Chains A and B, each alone.
Chain A
């Protein structure tokens, strides 16, 4: 059974950093792309970015609102995907979800609140 479990969210001040983790099980982590999405309170879905499968070089792409500030990586020995978020802004407040490929399976999400 595929399982995705996010962690690492919390309250952070503007300008600070936070790293989210997505622990995976039930599939071979390096064989699939992993995508992060977010959803601000009461709002719609937004694509954050993805990391390609290891076979495709584990390269990454990002949405325009996070490009240059966020970075996705993976620990292939532990089956964990990471979302490193730097220079966080108020507008980054959202529930963050990791997903398998483009959204075949989803975690339960982890809430990030950016506030002074």
Chain B
């Protein structure tokens, strides 16, 4: 079964810093990988989706990379802001199935 791990579990940074969140997965046979943001008590908001054939995707201050062969993805957040404070979840869709396998998330706090 696909295992998805996110490191670190929690992160606190001062406003303005660039930061990297890490996601690793055990089975490289993936269809795509998706990064989400979750605010406390809310649903998930999709940030970026990377197809298995792609190396990276960008949206505004966010950049996600994918190295399928090594089973890793990173989410890069540039010039962090207090509004970026949330939990960030990584999820992979395997080739053999349709539902996502989630990591436990990284809880990010950006302090003013």
Tell me whether A and B are bound partners. no
A residues touching B (Cβ–Cβ < 8 Å)?
Answer: none
What residues make up the interface of B, taking CB atoms closer than 8 Å to A? none
